[in-house]
Structure 1
Amino acid sequence: MMKRLGKRMMVGLTVTGLLLGSLPAMAVGDDDGIRPSGGAMVADALLARPLLAVATLGGTAVFLVSLPFSALGGNVDTAAETLIKTPAEATFRRCLGCEISRRADEM
């Protein structure tokens, strides 16, 4: 039973990797740039967004642990930008299926 589950897991991971690797090829050209396809939107909603949310939480934890050292080094803003703001923007401000997130000044 365990060997069978391991094979299924490896096949699933391989298929997922192949699908994620083909996401840029799924995009459709548009006058305003690139409009994501339905497959890119589904993959983004089911795979990328949850992983980016986990990255945001992990970055927040690392930021809090490293905060005393960042404060001593005078780079709290840079650490917050890299560890929290960038993954959070990719998670919550990026359109579904898009590769680039919108900045606050573009909204």
Structure 2
Amino acid sequence: MNPFRILALVVALSFGLQALPVLADDGSSGDPTYKIQNPPAYAMIGDLLVARPLLVGATLIGTAVFVVSLPFTVFGGVDGVGNAGKALVLAPGKAAFARCLGCTAEGFDGDH
């Protein structure tokens, strides 16, 4: 690769990476407000042994149902596929993997 292409690639990546915070801004000012939760030990144990395995199972079953229903939801338009994916895969996946152990809500304000 010649030096001009390398320089062009570095400049393009630099400007692209600098634009990411602008693209990620959701219109709110400042940093996201984090909810601080301090769940007790029994909540953490119950979440680890009962809730997380059930949520992972729900995510796997939801993924299978989403794949099976995909040919039918395609005819409903792009919104149908997106809504089905959010309801069947993303919602249980976020509950299983995007919250702290024993917490009842996600670790940040907003629908991220």
TM-score for both structures, normalised by structure 2: 0.61
Which structure features the higher share of helix residues? 1
Q: Which runs of 5+ in 2 are unaligned?
A: 1-34
Relative to 1, partners in 2 of residues 1:67 and 1:87: Cα closer, same or farther, differing over 3 Å? same
**1:69 paired residue number:** 72
Distance 1:64 1:40 in 2: 33
Structure with a larger share of its residues in strand: 1
Q: Which has the larger radius of gyration?
A: 2
Aligned-pair distance for 1:35? Answer: 1.9
What is the match of residue 83 of structure 2?
78
Q: Which runs of 4+ in 1 moved over 2 A?
A: none
Contact preservation (8 Å) 2:36, 2:107: no
Amino acid at match of 1:87: P
- Which fold has the larger relative contact order, with Cα–Cα distance below 8 Å and residues 6 or more apart in sequence? 2
**What is the Cα-based RMSD across aligned positions, in Å?**
2.3
- Write out aligned runs for 1:42-57 (5 A): 42-57=45-60
| 1:38 matched residue in structure 2 | 41
Q: Which moved more, 1:74-83 or 1:93-102?
A: 93-102
Q: 1:26 corresponds to which residue?
A: none
